[in-house]
A and B are shown apart, each in its own frame.
Chain A
Amino acid sequence: QKEVEQNSGPLSVPEGAIASLNCTYSDRGSQSFFWYRQYSGKSPELIMFIYSNGDKEDGRFTAQLNKASQYVSLLIRDSQPSDSATYLCAGANSGGSNYKLTFGKGTLLTVNP
């Protein structure tokens, strides 16, 4: 059973702080990882993806991947109240095209003004 584990939270940070969201995965063959943001009552929206070891930055967001430790993280710098949402981590299946994703249950982030 391929699993993606996330701390369900809630994670609470003050405005302007760095929020750190973590994810571990069981399938060593997983190639790519995705972070989605989901506001309450809305659909998941893609924030960014990462497939190489190391860091990938996009604006205030940085994704980190460590394949040896089977660990993915998302850092949000200068957190804003509008970042308050559930963040979903997903890993792409191994063995060919990553057309199926396994999702974690999500981490609820609250950014306090």
Chain B
Amino acid sequence: DAGITQSPRHKVTETGTPVTLRCHQTENHRYMYWYRQDPGHGLRLIHYSYGVKDTDKGEVSDGYSVSRSKTEDFLLTLESATSSQTSVYFCAISELSGGAGETQYFGPGTRLLVL
């Protein structure tokens, strides 16, 4: 898992409640990413970070915010969870691989169910 942990691993919550997912890395990588994976849609990028306090939107960022106050932690917040945000969320880091540039490695994932 390239030194990546995610917490919680499973969560059930109710519509309208705030939810924060945490991604923690131990290897000081600059880039970190949040994806969601849904049947029929594959992996879609929500937000990514290229350094402390430096973040940018991905293709499905509506309803999500992120923060990165330390190199090792990247937080994903659903301000007011909706049923459409029920998904599996993966965090990823990237590291330089000879010739290919940045190569991404994934954390174990968080299964979120919004009732």
Q: What residues of chain A have their CB less than 8 Å away from a CB belonging to chain B? A: 31-32, 34, 36, 42-46, 49-52, 88, 90, 92, 97-101, 103-106
Chain B contact residues (Cβ within 8 angstroms of A): what range? 20 to 34
> Nearest chain-B residue to A2 (Cβ)?
B59
Taking each of B41, B43, B99, which has the highest tally of chain A beta carbons within 10 Å of its own beta carbon? B43
Q: What residues of chain B have their CB less than 8 Å away from a CB belonging to chain A? A: 1, 31, 40-45, 48, 50, 58, 90, 94, 97, 99-109
Given contacts A100-B45, A104-B42, contact A44 B90 (CB under 8 A): yes
Asked whether, in the complex, the Cβ of A34 is within 8 Å of the Cβ of B103, the reply is yes
| Chain B contact residues, majority secondary structure | strand
**CA–CA, A100 to B45, complex, Å?**
8
> Nearest chain-A residue to B102 (Cβ)?
A99
Can you offer 22 A-B residue contacts whose CB atoms are under 8 A? A32-B99, A34-B100, A34-B103, A34-B104, A43-B1, A43-B90, A46-B103, A46-B104, A49-B97, A51-B100, A51-B101, A90-B104, A92-B102, A97-B102, A99-B31, A99-B50, A100-B45, A101-B104, A103-B44, A104-B42, A105-B41, A105-B42
> Nearest chain-A residue to B31 (Cβ)?
A99
Given contacts A43-B1, A43-B109, contact A99 B103 (CB under 8 A): no
> Nearest chain-A residue to B97 (Cβ)?
A49
Taking each of A43, A92, A105, which has the highest tally of chain B beta carbons within 10 Å of its own beta carbon? A43
> Nearest chain-A residue to B96 (Cβ)?
A97
A4 to chain B, nearest CB (A): 9
On chain A, the residues within 8 Å of B44 by CB distance are 103
